[in-house]
Amino acid sequence: MFSLITSLCFCGILIPPTLLLCIVYPFSKRAAVAVSDYITCVCARQVFAVLRVYRKFNFLGDYKSAENLPEQFIVISNHQSLFDIVVYFKFFGGLRARFVAKDNLAKVPMVGKMLKSQQHCMIPRKGSPSVAMKSIDRFGVSILGKHQCPVIFPEGTRSRDGNLNQFYSAGFRRLVAATKLPVAVCALDGGWKISNLNSIMRNLRRGAYRVKVLKLYEAPKSKEEEKKILEESKELIQNQLDSWRKLPENSLEV
């Protein structure tokens, strides 16, 4: 019964703005941005409210860990599901976070048009590396002018089992070069159990999606500093994941 109610709530929250976005996207950039902002600011909160009420599933963001962050910074994080985007919209504010994502997300009706409308960085999945790097350069210039915070996932793809994959440096280094911003290392956990709506209903009963800022680095000034940040960030994230997974199943600790 609760699974049916949850599904109906999701449909009620997401289908109307998705349809509206698909309608206005070809004709009005301003309208598409307005609908996209509504999805990221309002729908993200509503989705987690539904999960909390009907699935006893909690969003646990450690906002205290983010209190002393500067106005702008790069976020590097592990990556577990498409819900990670929703999590960071909620944690950092829907109008603040901007993502480096693969362009195959453009095929997802709501997500693709939303990311394009809000001018997130869509990296070509196929093509020369130089094209991808130029996309990041343009993205860096854009976010600096809008006082936004770029989020990049060094793993490059979602972890299907929640374990950390290899961290790749190219995108991160290019983003650092384009923005010269401090770097905030963040960890999240809970999304690896999600692959589709059925798995949400099956796996997320009384679960939690956790997110936390682990460390803030000054803007790296050399390749050696960039390498150090990536190496240390993977270790910090792994340690945090290990700590979270030792908690009791129904713990609300973050």
In this structure, what token pair is assigned to residue 161? 């089992």
Q: What's the per-residue H, E or C state across 32-79?
A: HHHHHHHHHHHHHHHHHHHHHHHHCCEEEECHHHHCCCCCCCEEEECC
Check residues 192 and 199 and name the one with the higher pLDDT.
192
Which pLDDT score, from 0 to 100, does residue 202 have?
60
Which pLDDT score, from 0 to 100, does residue 56 have?
78
| pLDDT of 154 strictly over 80 | yes
Which pLDDT score, from 0 to 100, does residue 246 have?
93
CA 10 from centre of chain? 19
Q: Distance (Å, rounded) from C-alpha 121 to C-alpha 72?
A: 17
Cα–Cα nearest to 237, from 172, 171, 181, 153: 153
Which pLDDT score, from 0 to 100, does residue 66 have?
94
Question: What does pTM read for this prediction?
Answer: 0.91
Q: Distance (Å, rounded) from C-alpha 184 to C-alpha 73?
A: 7
- How does residue 43 score in pLDDT terms, banded at 50, 70 and 90? confident
Q: Distance (Å, rounded) from C-alpha 137 to C-alpha 175?
A: 7
Long-range contacts for 41-46 (Cβ within 8 Å, ≥24 apart)?
41/89, 41/93, 41/94, 41/95, 43/13, 43/14, 43/17, 44/86, 44/89, 44/90, 44/94, 45/90, 46/13
* Low-confidence winner among 117-121, 198-202, 218-222, 248-252 (lowest mean pLDDT): 198-202
Residues 18-34 have pLDDT tens digits of: 999 999 999 999 999 99
| pLDDT of 201 strictly over 90 | no
Which pLDDT score, from 0 to 100, does residue 24 have?
93
Q: Distance (Å, rounded) from C-alpha 212 to C-alpha 122?
A: 25
Residue 122 · residue 115 · CB < 8 Å: yes
Q: Distance (Å, rounded) from C-alpha 45 to C-alpha 34?
A: 17
Residues 93-146 have pLDDT tens digits of: 777 899 998 888 877 777 888 889 999 999 887 777 888 899 999 999 999 989
Q: Distance (Å, rounded) from C-alpha 18 to C-alpha 252?
A: 32
Angular region, 127: left φ>0, alpha ψ -120 to 50, beta rest:
left
Q: Mean pLDDT: which of 96-105, 161-170, 188-197, 214-223 is highest?
A: 214-223
Q: Distance (Å, rounded) from C-alpha 146 to C-alpha 42?
A: 21
**What distance separates the 2 farthest-apart alpha carbons in the chain?**
56
